[in-house]
Amino acid sequence: MASTFGAAQVLVASNRGPVSYEVGEDGSLHAKRGGGGLVSGLSAIGPDAGALWVCSALSDGDREAVRRGVGEEGVRMLDVPADVHADAYNGIANSVLWFVHHMLYQTPLEPVFDAEFRRQWASYEAYNRAFAEALAEEAAEGAVAIVQDYHLTLVPGMLRELRPDLRIGHFSHTPWAPVDYFRILPDDIAEQVLRGMLGADRLGFLTRRWADAFTACCDALVGGPGDTRIGVHGLGADADFLRRRSHEADVDERMAGLRAEIGAGPDGNARRTIVRVDRTELSKNIVRGLLAYRRLLADRPEWRERVVHVAFAYPSRQDLAVYRDYTAEVQRVAEEINAEYGTPGWTPVVLHVKDDFARSLAAYRLADVALVNPVRDGMNLVAKEVPVVSDEGCVLVLSREAGAYEELGEDAVVVNPYDVVGTAAALHEALSIGAAERAERSKRLASAATALPPGRWFLEQLEELRG
């Protein structure tokens, strides 16, 4: 496996890495490169900068690649035992820390921190230790290491002990819970998380709101953040990449397909579109979005036959029953709306659940209205991407609980994500805005959305850490 043993100058650590492998029928390994902010961020520092990305082996193909010593330059995959990873990732990261920061517990019944939780926590510690040890082994003297997200909160403290010479950062891509909610965690665990992160020289958050919440937790539970610096870097959309990619042939093809699914209204004009694209995470609030759309059709019959809700809800974390149930509920409500309002020539909700990036971009281009209504979200890049890509400009209906609200709130139609009637009214308002105003708003949204592209987002953090 590609490794630099003590030579890496810049290190990134995250659970999910930039590449994954599949084993072909003939036993050969195929690499699939991922996208995302971190990938383009890291590429901004150039291939010769001695950068190394430490990540988990997640699939059977990944584990096979580690076993065979196959790898990409600049990437080291850690093959921690599958059961340890499952406890750390599904048990702690996705079922506890994700729930706390997104305030998703239904507290009369959940959570229950029992012996099983303690057992999983021990795996989370072991998993974090594997990362700290790999980083310690790979880093050159005085190198910079930036650790990502809630999967790896203990790494900064562990790494600091192993390698006091390093400059250590940690970046949170999620919200941070308010103190009273964070204290749902057992006291010793809450403290361990905070102290683990405070092992870093500098912590990064997506918005001021999450940074302040973290500081408040430190003040309440561990006597403040001490010497650790705290900064805000609002990751923006990658305009160059999106504009180029969204005009490639496969996207044009998907647009034609989508146009056919959307169809024309009674006046012969193409129907208006309300577009949403999400991974089906519990925080995305897809079901209330559908209920709001149903309310719109009920209260405003003038929109029937003239609008289509294009909803892409891609599978996420399907190992967890609660995610599978949520996906099923999304499908059930969409079918209900189609059965209730659909006509032979009109499908009110066009729902797709199979991940297809080119089709997502096609929907962005066609969007009249983009619906982004999470109950809580670190940033939400879809809110930033649609205005950049949409052909005619779109109106953004945006939850005030998304991090993106801090930067885009002024030019969006803002909603309380729990308020279905309010969201229906917002959809009506958004659909009613005229073409000229829509184009203008969309332009302003696109410029705010691209203020800090991924390359600069990453370099900013690097410079701060290098001081």
Which residues are at the interface with ligand G6P (CB under 6 A)?
A: 15-16, 149, 173-174, 316-317, 378
Task: Determine whether 67 is exposed, middle or buried from the number of CB atoms within 10 Å of its CB (0-12, 13-18, 19+).
Answer: exposed
Closest CB to ligand G6P among residues 206, 307: 206
Closest CB to ligand G6P among residues 77, 308: 77
Tokens of 402: 């998304």
Closest CB to ligand G6P among residues 205, 341: 205
Considering the complex, what minimum distance in angstroms separates the CB of residue 138 from ligand G6P?
21
Considering the complex, what minimum distance in angstroms separates the CB of residue 253 from ligand G6P?
27
Considering the complex, what minimum distance in angstroms separates the CB of residue 429 from ligand G6P?
28
Kindly provide the residue ranges of all beta strands, DSSP E only, lying in 272-421, ordered along the sequence: 272-279, 307-314, 349-352, 369-372, 395-399, 413-415
Phi/psi for 410 (5° steps) reads: -65, -35
Considering the complex, what minimum distance in angstroms separates the CB of residue 58 from ligand G6P?
8
Closest CB to ligand G6P among residues 316, 338: 316
Considering the complex, what minimum distance in angstroms separates the CB of residue 36 from ligand G6P?
9
Task: Give 391-443 as a DSSP string.
Answer: SS--EEEEETTBTTHHHHGGGSEEE-TT-HHHHHHHHHHHHHS-HHHHHHHHH
Render the burial of 330-340: b for 16+ CB within 10 Å, e for the rest. Answer: beebbeebbee
Considering the complex, what minimum distance in angstroms separates the CB of residue 149 from ligand G6P?
5
Considering the complex, what minimum distance in angstroms separates the CB of residue 174 from ligand G6P?
5
Closest CB to ligand G6P among residues 190, 382: 382
Pairing of the two strands 369-372 and 202-205: unpaired
Pairing of the two strands 8-13 and 139-148: parallel
Closest CB to ligand G6P among residues 18, 378: 378
CA distance 34 to 18: 5
CA distance 310 to 370: 10
Please give the DSSP secondary-structure letter assigned to residue 254. H
Closest CB to ligand G6P among residues 185, 379: 379
Considering the complex, what minimum distance in angstroms separates the CB of residue 34 from ligand G6P?
10
Helix/strand/coil percent split, the chain, to 5: 50, 20, 30
Closest chain position to ligand G6P (CB)? 173
Closest CB to ligand G6P among residues 124, 346: 124
Q: Which residues are 402's β-sheet partners?
A: 377
Closest CB to ligand G6P among residues 271, 276: 276
- In 3D, which of 233, 183, 176 has the Cα closest to residue 206? 233
Considering the complex, what minimum distance in angstroms separates the CB of residue 229 from ligand G6P?
21
CA distance 34 to 244: 17
Considering the complex, what minimum distance in angstroms separates the CB of residue 114 from ligand G6P?
24
CA distance 350 to 379: 26
Angle between helices 420-432 and 286-299 (to 10 degrees): 70
Rounded to the nearest 10 degrees, how much is the dihedral formed by the CA atoms of 108, 110, 111, 114? Answer: 90
Closest CB to ligand G6P among residues 265, 417: 417
Amino acid at 53: W
Closest CB to ligand G6P among residues 360, 442: 360
Considering the complex, what minimum distance in angstroms separates the CB of residue 381 from ligand G6P?
9
